[in-house]
Amino acid sequence: MNIKLLKFIVIFMGILIIFGIVILGLAFYNKFKNISNKSNSNIKIEMPKNMDFLDYKVSEKNIYISYKSSNKILIKIYNLQTGKTLKEIEILK
C-alpha cells in the first residue's frame, strides 16, 4: 500500500473519532440539561364534594384519579407538568 494513502486514512479516521466524541458530548449535555430543567412544583388537587377517593395511577405525563359516590364513579385526568384538568369521565352506577 502507498504510505501517503495510509497516512490519509489514519488522519481521516482520527478526525472522524474526534468529531464523534464532540457530537456525543453535546448530546449528553443536552440530555442532562433537559433533566435538570424539570420543575418540582406542587400540584393542588381538590377532591369533589360528597365523593370518596377510590384509586390513582401515574403515567409519564398524566395522573388519573378516581372517586366514587353512591350513584357514580368519577375519573379525573390531570397533566403533571401544568396541573390542569385534561378530562373528566363519569360512570353512572
Kindly indicate the confidence band of residue 39, based on its pLDDT and cuts at 50, 70 and 90.
low
Residue 57 included in any domain: yes
| Residues 24 and 57 grouped into a single domain | no
Which residue range is the domain that position 88 belongs to? 52-92
Q: What is the mean pLDDT of the chain?
A: 89
Q: Are 69 and 78 in contact (CB under 8 A)?
A: no
Number of domains in the chain: 2
| Residues 26 and 1 grouped into a single domain | yes
Q: Can you say whether residue 17 is alpha, beta or left, with left for phi > 0 and alpha for psi between -120 and 50 degrees?
A: alpha
pLDDT digits (tens, 9 = 90+) for 44-64: 888 888 899 999 999 988 999
Residue 43 included in any domain: no
More confident residue, 33 or 17: 17
Determine the pLDDT at residue 37. Answer: 55
pTM: 0.56
